[in-house]
C-alpha cells in the first residue's frame, strides 16, 4: 500500500513537471507580448509584464493577421468539410463492400500516407497553374483536401468496420437506400471519428506553410504562418513585443477550437482503441 502511494505521488510529480515545461514557453510568450516597447526583458522582474495591452492593437493593425486568420479559417473549414464528407462516404463504401477494387483503393490510400506532401509540390504546382488555382482559396482547399483524404478514409473506414451491419439492415427495412443509409444512420454515429479527424488534421491545415508558400503568393491570400513569417522578417527581432502579441493572437483560435473538441477527441481515441 505504501509503495502504491509513493508511486502515485511520483507519477503526479512527473505529470506536474511535464505540464510546467509545456506552459513555460507560452507564459514567456505572453509576458513578452504584454511588455512595453521600451522595456528590456531581463530588467526587473522578468516574470511579471508591464501589461501594455496596446501591443495587441498595434500588432493587429501592422501584421494584417486578421485577414490571414480569415483566410486560414476559410481554408481549414472548407478542407475539413469537403474531406469529412468525401472521406466518410469512401470509408463507408470500403468498409461495407469488401471487393477487390475497394481493397486496392484502400491500400493505395494507405500507401499515400507514407509519402510526404512536399514531394508532390512541383507537379501539383503545374496542375494548379493549368486550372488557374494559384492564389485562390478554393485551390488551396483542394490541395489540403487531397493531402488529408488518405487519413480521412483510414479513420472512417476503421470506425465503420466496428459498427454492426444491423444498422444498415434496419435502415433498409425502414425504406432508406444508398446514400440515405450513410447520411441519416451511419454518419451521425461517426461523431467520435469526425472529432478525431478534425483534431489530427485541422491544426495541420491551419498551420500549413509548405504548400501555402507555393500556392498563395499574394499578400491578400496569405494564411497565418505566411503572415507571421512576413511580419517577423519585417522587424527582424527588433520589436519582440509586437511579434509576441501577433503570435498570441494567432494561437487563440486554435486553443478555443481544441477546448471545444477535446472531449469528443478523447472519446474518439478511446472508442477507436477499444473497438480496434
Residues 121 and 228 occupy one common structural domain: yes
85-110 confidence digits (pLDDT tens): 999 999 999 998 888 999 999 999 88
Q: Indicate if 85 and 143 belong to the same structural domain.
A: yes
Q: Are residues 195 and 70 in the same domain?
A: yes
The pLDDT-based confidence of 177 (bands split at 50, 70, 90) is confident
Q: Do 45 and 135 belong together in one domain?
A: no
Identify the CA nearest to 33 among candidates 60, 14, 11, 3. Answer: 60
CATH at residue 88: 1.10.3720.10
Question: Which range marks the domain in which residue 32 is found?
Answer: 1-52
Residues 114 and 219 occupy one common structural domain: yes
Q: Check pLDDT > 90 for residue 218.
A: no
Structurally, the chain folds into a number of domains equal to 2
| Whole-number Å distance between alpha carbons of 169 and 171 | 5
Residue 127 pLDDT > 50: yes
Domain end among 14, 35, 52: 52
Which tens digit of pLDDT belongs to each residue from 15-65? 999 999 988 888 888 888 888 877 766 566 667 788 888 889 888 888 888
Q: What is the pTM of this model?
A: 0.84
Based on the fold, state whether residues 114 and 238 are members of the same structural domain: yes
Window from 86-100, 147-161, 172-186, 215-229 with minimum mean pLDDT: 172-186
The grid coordinates of residue 274 equal 477499444
Q: Return the pLDDT at 274.
A: 43
Q: Name the more confident of 142 and 175.
A: 142
More confident residue, 74 or 258: 74
**Which tops the pLDDT comparison, 18 or 276?**
18
Q: What is the mean pLDDT of residues 112-134?
A: 85
Whether 41 and 143 share a structural domain = no
| pLDDT at position 273 | 44
Q: Look at residue 41 in the predicted model and tell me its pLDDT.
A: 60
For range 224-229, the mean pLDDT: 89
Residues 66 and 33 both lie in one domain: no
Judge contact between 125 and 214, C-beta under 8 A. yes
Q: How far apart are the first and last CA of the chain?
A: 34
**Is the same domain home to 108 and 5?**
no
**Same domain, yes or no, for 45 and 133?**
no
Lowest mean pLDDT among 99-108, 168-177, 258-267: 258-267
Contact 55, 242 (CB under 8 A): yes
Residues 105 and 199 occupy one common structural domain: yes
Triad 103, 201, 243: Cα angle to 5°: 160
Same-domain check for residues 13 and 101? no
pLDDT (0 to 100) of residue 267:
66
Q: How many CB atoms lie within 10 A of CB 78?
A: 18
Amino acid at each position: 500500500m505504501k509503495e502504491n502511494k509513493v508511486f502515485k505521488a511520483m507519477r503526479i510529480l512527473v505529470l506536474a513537471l511535464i505540464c510546467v515545461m509545456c506552459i513555460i514557453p507560452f507564459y514567456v510568450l505572453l509576458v513578452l507580448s504584454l511588455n512595453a516597447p521600451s522595456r528590456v526583458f531581463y530588467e526587473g522582474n522578468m516574470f511579471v509584464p508591464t501589461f501594455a495591452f496596446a501591443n495587441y492593437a498595434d500588432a493587429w493593425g501592422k501584421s494584417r493577421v486578421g485577414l490571414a486568420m480569415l483566410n486560414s479559417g476559410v481554408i481549414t473549414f472548407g478542407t475539413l468539410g469537403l474531406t469529412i464528407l468525401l472521406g466518410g462516404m469512401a470509408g463507408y463504401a470500403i468498409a461495407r463492400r469488401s471487393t477487390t477494387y475497394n481493397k486496392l483503393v484502400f491500400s493505395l490510400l494507405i500507401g499515400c500516407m507514407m509519402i510526404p506532401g512536399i514531394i508532390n509540390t512541383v507537379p501539383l504546382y503545374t496542375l494548379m497553374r493549368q486550372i488557374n488555382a494559384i492564389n485562390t482559396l478554393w485551390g488551396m482547399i483542394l490541395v489540403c483536401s487531397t493531402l488529408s483524404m488518405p487519413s480521412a478514409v483510414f479513420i472512417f473506414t476503421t470506425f465503420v468496420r466496428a459498427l454492426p451491419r444491423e444498422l444498415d439492415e434496419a435502415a433498409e427495412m425502414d425504406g432508406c437506400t444508398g446514400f440515405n443509409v450513410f447520411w441519416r444512420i451511419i454518419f451521425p454515429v461517426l461523431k467520435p471519428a469526425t472529432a478525431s479527424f478534425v483534431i489530427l488534421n485541422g491544426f495541420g491545415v491551419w498551420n500549413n506553410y509548405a504548400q501555402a508558400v507555393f500556392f498563395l503568393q499574394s499578400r491578400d491570400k496569405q494564411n497565418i504562418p505566411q503572415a507571421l513569417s512576413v511580419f517577423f522578417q519585417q522587424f527582424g527581432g527588433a520589436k519582440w513585443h509586437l511579434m509576441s502579441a501577433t503570435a498570441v493572437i494567432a494561437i487563440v483560435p486554435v486553443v478555443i477550437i481544441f477546448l471545444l473538441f477535446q472531449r469528443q477527441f478523447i472519446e474518439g481515441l478511446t472508442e477507436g482503441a477499444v473497438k480496434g
